[in-house]
Amino acid sequence: MNGKKRILLLDDSPIALELTQASLEERGYEVAAAPNHAEFRRLLGHFLPDLVLTDLEMPEVSGREVIASLKQDLGTDRIPVVLFSSRPDAELARIAAQAGADGYLSKAHGVERLGDMVDELVQSILW
């Protein structure tokens, strides 16, 4: 193990996925990215993330459903899950709390703030 914290991303937007992955890798995280739920489940089995970052609105499955699934499974129930969406902070905070997420990040702040926001969440949630 290389000591890097591992983040698994789930987002149906290829552009958002690529920008988010690049931004987090620049910060020193090991990142795996999934463009759909099937790939997310496949990666989850062998990537063993320290944190999951999931989009809220996707065509196959919602972020709420992803959170519920992870939190109900004894193999993944302790992995912190952060909801990631372009919704306004107040609305996203409410949705994240209702869904049982461990945190939330708004895409509205842009990719340049993403790294700082993830660092802050990692410090408050995980380590």
pLDDT for res 49: 94
C-beta of residue 23 within 8 angstroms of C-beta of residue 33:
no
- Locate the domains of the chain by residue range: 6-125
**For 88-112, what is each residue's pLDDT tens digit?**
889 999 999 999 998 888 887 766 6
Domain 6-125 fold is: Rossmann fold (3.40.50)
Q: What is the mean pLDDT of residues 74-83?
A: 92
Sign of the alpha-carbon torsion through 126, 25, 62, 86 = positive
pLDDT of 56 over the 80 cut: yes
pLDDT for res 93: 92
Amino acid occupying residue 51: L
CA pair distance 81, 102, nearest whole angstrom: 5
**For 15-54, what is each residue's pLDDT tens digit?**
989 999 998 999 899 999 999 999 999 999 899 899 999 9
Amino acid occupying residue 75: G
